[in-house]
Amino acid sequence: MNSRKLLASALILGLGALAGCSTEKPEKPVSFQKDVLPIMKASCAECHTAPDGEGYQKSGLAVGTYEELMKGTKMGPVIIPGQSLNSSLNRLAEGRPGVDPSIQMPHGKVKLPEAQLVLLRKWVDQGAKNN
121 near 96, Cβ under 8 Å? no
25 DSSP assignment: P
The answer to whether the peptide bond before residue 51 is cis (omega within 30 degrees of 0) is yes
Separation between Cα atoms, residue 112 and residue 69, nearest integer Å = 18
73 near 61, Cβ under 8 Å? yes
Q: What is the pLDDT of residues 91-120, one digit of tens each?
A: 999 999 998 888 889 988 889 999 999 999
124 near 90, Cβ under 8 Å? yes
Confidence at residue 55, expressed as pLDDT on a 0 to 100 scale: 95
| 76 SS3 class | strand
pTM for the model: 0.79
Confidence at residue 85, expressed as pLDDT on a 0 to 100 scale: 97
Separation between Cα atoms, residue 16 and residue 8, nearest integer Å = 12
On average, the pLDDT of the chain sits at 87
